[in-house]
Chain A
Amino acid sequence: MINNSKVFNVFVNLLLAALIAACIIPFWLLFVSSVTSESYLIQHGYSLMPKEFSLDAYKYLWEAKDSIGRAYLMSVVIAGIGVLANIVLTVLFAYPLSHKDLPGRGAISFFLFFTMLFNGGLVPTYLVYTNLINVKDTLAGMIVPYLLMNAFFVIIMRTYFTSSIPGEVLEAARIDGANEVQSLTRIVLPMSKPIIATIALMTLITYWNNWTNGIYFLTTRTDFYGIQNYLNDVMNKAAFLQSHMNGMINAKAVPNISVRMAIAVIAVLPLMIAYPFFQKYFVKGITLGSVKG
């Protein structure tokens, strides 16, 4: 675009700046509210201007560090196991499909691809995972359903294998007596680090942000809750308390209004700190569709 109009230029810059503000102000609101004293918040509500600075909310969280810390740890364990298993499954499925001479390749590709077009939805999936294979109230319930393998990423990885790894290299390895496992681990994987990193990152974010498996499959074992389900739980208890002011839940068990914002800040913080470092891969990950061939 060749833009010589001053008015247009001002408009463009204002728009982009306004959108930056729209993305950042909500976080600022969370942060400021979490470091404002409870009494000020009760009177004036959440506010963008830091007034009556107080770290009480964070002191409270420090005292509750066992439950929050545990939820964090669970999130790390779930995401760690999940990403590792996901990458192993994806590589193992994509590598054979990258062999153009594999007998039955077309049928296997269709078997994979069809899962992107048609799915059974929540009810049968829930019944499979609670009746046929019971993952209810186990750690596997957080890791296995829905998230362990993504057909789209398998196709992306297969395409990367076929397009970015020269056939001559694999041929040379075969002549030198390498078997398939050796070709995969010694040649293909080292050459596929960028795509593996991108898919691992996208999977990591998916696991880190997932809370639906928690509400589907964890009913009694809330000790398996990751940070997202922990946050969801706090919000539910607070909402319940609000609608049943003198209800059955012990009011002390529900953090007050500044603490709620402090929990949200703590939950977002690691992601925000890490974001600038993985930002490039993230952009690559979300535009992956366009490299599909």
Chain B
Amino acid sequence: MEKKTKVSAKRELTPSERSYQRLRRKRRFLRFLPLYIMLLPGAAYLIINNYLPMAGLLIAFKKINYSLGIFNSPWVGLKNFKYLFSNNDALIALRNTILYNLGFILFGNVLAIVVAIALDSAKNKYFKQVSQVVYLIPFLLSTVIVSYIVFAFLSPSNGFMNNTILPALGVADPIKWYNEAKYWPAILNIVFLWMSFGYSSILYYSAVISIDKSYYEAAVVDGASTWKQILHITLPGLKPTIITLVLLAIGRICYSDFGLFYQIPQHSGLLYSTTQTIDTFVYRALLELNDVGRSSAAGFLQSIFGFVLVFGANMLVNKLDKESALF
């Protein structure tokens, strides 16, 4: 409606009115022009850093020949994917990625909830504050530093485990940690928990303290024990947070922290069966083996499935708890 009246009004404009409107349009343009110019550097960066690589996913269907250039390299259909699954390496990486993520989701959330409840029920205010500050220290470190710390524990000849802890437990033979794959699921889960529990327990803690205190007061009047309060008030109160965090983590189940799986095991080839994830697989195929075909095929699958899962998880979160969803 509005547009129509504007158009019909335009026909009846006097010259002076017309020039006034032109001036207004020019003003409007001039008003927004600086804003559009401001957007340019960021838009250029997003195109280079994000949108070109998205389009570049199509190289998974090409055989890259650097002398021809990326654009002129021939299409090869699904050849790269057949090649990717011609042995078990990619499937092992996929299995590891998903199993580690499931372990991280389970143990990470349980520990974070326990810590959040403990922080809430501790009585000394300063002790609480100090705890929170200290718990975040591991989260602050780079995985390179963490790999040094893990090495101080696991170094076969000088490590704290082999020289102090194992003898104290009565285990006589030192263990070659960096040679034996079977220990690494446990090690990486512990390292992950050590690095991340401070962060996730603070997220849960902020949800715990926002539970209405009057519920607890009423429960105490009714004679509820501490355990009963946790079971019937705190955990139900945390339900939305738990569901949200778990769903968002499931959305990222195809992805892994490259640093955790690359640095902490010190890229020991003997450990690949339990430490290789999709991210380290893609990195090694691309930069160590110079195998663009397999790495681009694996990366393509990760990006597409990753997108579907992130999108699906966010749709669900959006339905359950609008505030926490990405969209």
Residues of B within 8 A of A3 (CB): 121, 123, 226, 229
Q: CB of B43 within 8 A of chain A?
A: yes
**Which partner residue on chain A sits nearest B287 by CB separation?**
A216
Given that A1-B120, A119-B54 are known contacts, is A46 also in contact with B155, CB under 8 Å in the complex? Answer: yes
Residues of B within 8 A of A267 (CB): 145
Q: Are A33 and B323 in contact (CB under 8 A)?
A: no
Q: CB of B258 within 8 A of chain A?
A: yes
Q: CB of A39 within 8 A of chain B?
A: no
Q: Are B158 and A119 in contact (CB under 8 A)?
A: no
Interface string of A224-267 (1 = CB under 8 A from B): 00001101100110010000000000000000010011011001
CB distance from A133 to the nearest CB of B (A): 6
Given that A24-B134, A119-B53, A124-B296 are known contacts, is A46 also in contact with B152, CB under 8 Å in the complex? Answer: yes
Q: Are A127 and B70 in contact (CB under 8 A)?
A: yes
Q: How large is the interface on B (under 10, 10 to 19, 20 to 34, 35 or more residues)?
A: 35 or more
Inter-chain CA distance A7–B296, complex, in Å, is: 56
Q: CB of B76 within 8 A of chain A?
A: no
Residues of A within 8 A of B259 (CB): 211-212
Q: Are A95 and B35 in contact (CB under 8 A)?
A: yes
The contact of A120 among B57, B145, B148, B229, by CB within 8 Å, is B57
CB distance from B32 to the nearest CB of A (A): 6
Q: Are A128 and B52 in contact (CB under 8 A)?
A: yes
Interface residues of B in 59-74 (CB under 8 A from A): 59-60, 69-70
Between B39, B197, B220, the greatest number of chain A beta carbons within 10 A of the residue's beta carbon is seen for B39
Given that A46-B163, A212-B258 are known contacts, is A123 also in contact with B202, CB under 8 Å in the complex? Answer: no
Q: CB of A100 within 8 A of chain B?
A: no
B-contacting 9-mer, from A56-64, A190-198, A279-287: A279-287
**Which partner residue on chain B sits nearest A98 by CB separation?**
B35
Inter-chain CA distance A102–B36, complex, in Å, is: 9
Q: Are A290 and B121 in contact (CB under 8 A)?
A: no
Q: CB of B101 within 8 A of chain A?
A: no
Residues of B within 8 A of A275 (CB): 137, 140
Given that A2-B229, A122-B286, A124-B296 are known contacts, is A45 also in contact with B164, CB under 8 Å in the complex? Answer: yes
**Which partner residue on chain A sits nearest B301 by CB separation?**
A121
**Which partner residue on chain A sits nearest B248 by CB separation?**
A289
Given that A2-B220, A149-B46, A264-B145 are known contacts, is A96 also in contact with B138, CB under 8 Å in the complex? Answer: no
Q: Are A41 and B323 in contact (CB under 8 A)?
A: no
Q: CB of A9 within 8 A of chain B?
A: yes
**Which partner residue on chain B sits nearest A110 by CB separation?**
B327
Inter-chain CA distance A233–B32, complex, in Å, is: 50
Q: Are A211 and B118 in contact (CB under 8 A)?
A: no
Q: CB of B49 within 8 A of chain A?
A: yes
**Which partner residue on chain A sits nearest B278 by CB separation?**
A121
The contact of A30 among B60, B148, B229, by CB within 8 Å, is B148
Interface string of B281-292 (1 = CB under 8 A from A): 011001100001
Q: CB of A53 within 8 A of chain B?
A: no
Interface residues of A in 98-124 (CB under 8 A from B): 99, 102-103, 108, 111-113, 115-124
Q: CB of B21 within 8 A of chain A?
A: no
The contact of B206 among A24, A264, A290, A293, by CB within 8 Å, is A290
The contact of A15 among B115, B144, B163, B303, by CB within 8 Å, is B115
Q: Are A26 and B49 in contact (CB under 8 A)?
A: no
Q: CB of B198 within 8 A of chain A?
A: yes
Inter-chain CA distance A155–B234, complex, in Å, is: 32
Given that A23-B198, A93-B42, A123-B282 are known contacts, is A133 also in contact with B48, CB under 8 Å in the complex? Answer: yes
Q: Are B144 and A12 in contact (CB under 8 A)?
A: no
Given that A123-B299, A125-B53, A212-B259 are known contacts, is A9 also in contact with B123, CB under 8 Å in the complex? Answer: yes
**Which partner residue on chain B sits nearest A268 by CB separation?**
B145
Q: CB of A273 within 8 A of chain B?
A: no
Q: A interface vs B, CB < 8 Å?
A: 1-5, 8-9, 12-13, 15-16, 19-20, 22-24, 26-27, 29-30, 33, 41-42, 44-48, 88-90, 92-93, 95-96, 99, 102-103, 108, 111-113, 115-128, 131-133, 144-146, 148-149, 151, 154, 179-181, 184, 205, 208-212, 215-216, 228-229, 231-232, 235-236, 239, 257, 260-261, 263-264, 267-268, 271-272, 275-276, 279, 282-283, 286-287, 289-290, 292-293
Q: B interface vs A, CB < 8 Å?
A: 31-32, 34-36, 38-39, 41-43, 45-46, 48-57, 59-60, 69-70, 114-115, 117-124, 127-128, 130-145, 147-149, 151-153, 155, 157-160, 162-164, 194, 197-199, 202-203, 206, 208, 216-217, 219-220, 225-227, 229-230, 234, 258-259, 263, 266-268, 279, 282-283, 286-287, 292, 295-296, 299-300, 302-303, 306-307, 310-311, 314, 323-324, 326-327
Give 14 new A-B contacts, CB below 8 A, not counting A239-B266, A264-B145.
Answer: A1-B229, A13-B124, A16-B122, A29-B160, A30-B148, A47-B164, A96-B39, A120-B50, A127-B56, A127-B70, A127-B292, A180-B34, A260-B151, A282-B140
